Structure 1
């Protein structure tokens, strides 16, 4: 475990509001460079949003289930992580079809954080709908098969991978600990046990994360109003303000992956808290001066 031991830059950045509509629980942003489209969810309101980070109006798609993340399959389809498991979505029609049930026997859990490994394996997670202690797990969906990787996690978040696919990261927000695990880069599956990398001190919790082209881990700090960047050694190297108290997850967007899109939420905030937080639930673009990379497409196997 590494704590802060070196100076870091607590700096602002050029920030714009991409979408001013306020999400109850904005989460799970992803970006499809081929269509220049960003996607994100309002989990609790069962909505999927789409918008180009280059500008224009956003679109809202109502969903029959709570969903929290998606992976691009091809130009026509997406794979959604939902409270009922993985579902294939046709982009043109919005039609959903079940692919793999996840904890279908337990109506008390729902999907949460997710991200695609460079091999095409989709890591997805679950948690209790009331954030019950130890109710969550992380799974890997690879070529049509589902495998539970880690269990007993209260609020699984920060799922992301090193650019070469040899290391996976994840956090339990309740424990405020970021972990790393060695991976087989060809499969995205663990080759050892997770090890604590960084324990977040002070206010806020480790939420969604993404790595940039150089391998820095950019993690939203829920309740802290910022995104922190950590080195692969777990050192805090940069902290960037977000104009919302509860940022939830970042993703790099744009044709050159040069901006950081960050979702936020007003879950659990009363009227006074929302009034004091001008950006609550909005989606932002941050010019952080680094480059990300394209999100891999998920491999479905025979589907």
Structure 2
């Protein structure tokens, strides 16, 4: 089997999503899956550092991230975003006796997360190749070329989703789409976007721009300022965010259908929705970001 088939190498140290969080992992084995319709293509058998080997599992490459500074920063942001939601433990509850297994509070929290996550229905959103390329270009423009998405965007996330609803309701197709359900999905997407943008969807180079935008638009939702570039980044995170909700399997199936249809519409309107030229950051901005 050619190594060109795989994105990651055996024994490579990587980062891997488990639930909404990202953990250090090592690839123990690789294979190609043809028979399972839910997990086709290259699969990787990973071991999470510091975890019992019973948690070793096969994952596809949508859950794996390369070990680099950008992804380590993403790991930190997702952990900060998620742990802020957890209730503060009392001092008494954090005491672990010397005769116990001497696990840290973090390890106990991770095991709790794993037990909760293991029975959650999974949602799979396959990004078309054209949109994957869009994500790569987006990453290169910002992290390598030190450019920015010009803000505010036109159309905004809110406008894109409103246009999608109008398109879907007017478009004749063999399937009947429920307008109320569609409104719920769109509202949920905007909510996720507004909550996740500042903690999960930004590259380090964009954080100063985000701070400036928030300061100047304190009364506005970020979904009314940002556009398709950052909405697409949210789609990458959605399976892991949704996996940690209380939705049952039937709800997740319906939700996935609507989310996938929105994604198809974004691909259809790719040339109209995505910025064609990124904005060169000013020398003063670059200096501020670099702490000079």
Do the structures match in fold with TM over 0.5?
Answer: no
**Shorter-chain TM-score: what band?**
under 0.3
The structure having more radius of gyration, on CA atoms, is: 2
Bigger proportion of residues as helix: 2
When the two structures are superposed, what TM-score results if normalisation uses the length of structure 2? 0.27
TM-score w.r.t. the length of structure 1 is 0.26
